[in-house]
Amino acid sequence: DAMVIQNPRYQVTQFGKPVTLSCSQTLNHNVMYWYQQKSSQAPKLLFHYYDKDFNNEADTPDNFQSRRPNTSFCFLDIRSPGLGDAAMYLCATSREGGRETQYFGPGTRLLVL
């Protein structure tokens, strides 16, 4: 009965080689978020979708893109990964905005060689 699913759990890519991380949800929530979490730090919001409306955080590098083809799926594309992009990437959903509980997936750990 997994609610927020992330694939793969571990991803290894090469420096500069595009990579896509995926997230799916069975909750039918309006909002989907992507966070980057580096070791021993709080999650850092990269962007979120409210339905089809994309909202980018001001300090998210252009190297990071996202797609939400339908309610259930959301993708994180890293166009040219650098060594500094190695991190845990967390997907989350909420029914509505910030006062609502966010439900997190297990995360994808990205390693850049």
Restricted to residues 63-92, the positions that interact with another protein (CB under 8 A) are 90, 92
Contacting range for another protein; rule: CB under 8 A; set: 12-20, 38-46, 64-72, 78-86: 38-46
Q: Is 8 in the site for another protein (CB under 8 A)?
A: no
Q: Is 58 in the site for another protein (CB under 8 A)?
A: no
Best CA proximity match to 66, nearest among 78, 57, 84: 78
In 51-94, which ranges are E strands?
A: 53-56, 64-67, 73-78, 87-94
Would you report the helix, strand and coil content of the chain in percent, each value rounded to 5?
A: 5, 50, 45
Amino acid of residue 20 = T
Among 31, 74, 76, 78, binds another protein (CB under 8 A): 31
Contacting range for another protein; rule: CB under 8 A; set: 11-19, 60-68, 71-79, 105-113: 105-113
